[in-house]
A = this chain, B = another copy of it.
Amino acid sequence: MPDNAPLQTTTAAAGLSRYGQIAAALQARIVSGDWAPGSAIPAEGALAREFGIALGTIRQAIAVLVQQGLLERVQGKGTFVRRGLSGASLMRFFRFGGADGAPVVPRSEILSCRAVRLDKAMAARFGLASGARGLAISRRRWLEQTPRLLESIWLPLPRCEALQQLPPAQWGDLLYPLLGSACGVTVHRAVDEVTFRTLAADEAALLMLPDAHPCAVVTRHAFDLAGHCIEYRLTRGDAFAFRYTADVR
């Protein structure tokens, strides 16, 4: 279970190797937006000259950020700042209806969105004190005429304040592109934990499933570029539609 501590520790220069220090400096450019998501970073030779280091050292620093998923190498094209997660990825846990396997973005219906006082555990996830303010969102996701997923989403305030000003009808179907455009937050990483239980009566009604039907629960912690938790989400869906593949080496 991830706690609130930032997950990338390259920001602390103390005790770091030379390439670790350079990696921290490059990460700062990504976090600040100086290097924008989707853009190419300067050539390795230019960076080596700028920092006054060997080409091998800049390559090691870049390898660290590739490994962290902040940068990606594109064969024959260069090294790019990775775009944030699209947010559609919870669908990878389920297979509803059509077997063609094409990625689908379910339609989003915002059931409620309100500012709340966060309890101690929720506040701690965001690095906030108990009683800090947050946004609590209830969302239902549809595929064609069937409700498929039920989501309870918590976001920290004031960081996601801009979302409150925007009518839910203008949110679109994906949360993460909205967090980017409205709040300047890039969601870079998510940790999903899957468990199973049965649906409560209110959940079953919203998902149009029988009371006490088995459901998969995906508990998500999402993180920004600096490694801070920026979203906590509980997603419920029909257990019998769950399908997930893991590769073990």
Query: Which A residues have a C-beta under 8 Å from some C-beta of B?
Result: 68-69, 82, 85, 89, 188-198, 214, 216, 239-240, 242-249
Contacts and interface: CB of A to CB of B under 8 A. Distances in A.
A194 B240 contact: no
Contacts of A249: 68-69, 82, 85, 188-189
Contact of A191 (B68, B69, B189, B248): B248
Nearest to A93: B246
Contacts of A248: 85, 89, 189-192
A153 to B, nearest CB: 16
A120 B196 CA distance: 34
A69 B188 CA distance: 26
Given A196-B242, A214-B214, 6 more contacts: A68-B249, A85-B248, A191-B245, A194-B242, A195-B242, A196-B214
B242 A214 contact: no
B244 A244 contact: yes
A171 B187 CA distance: 48
A192 to B, nearest CB: 5
Contacts of A189: 247-249
A82 B246 CA distance: 19
Contacts of A85: 248-249
Q: Is the interface of A mostly helix, strand, loop or mixed?
A: strand
Nearest to A197: B240
B193 A196 contact: no
A192 B240 contact: no
Of residues A89, A189, A197, A249, which shows the largest number of chain B Cβ atoms within 10 Å of its Cβ?
Answer: A249
B246 A192 contact: yes
A189 to B, nearest CB: 5
Contacts of A191: 245-248
A50 B189 CA distance: 43
Contact of A244 (B193, B197, B243): B193
A200 to B, nearest CB: 15
A249 B195 CA distance: 21
Contacts of A190: 247-248
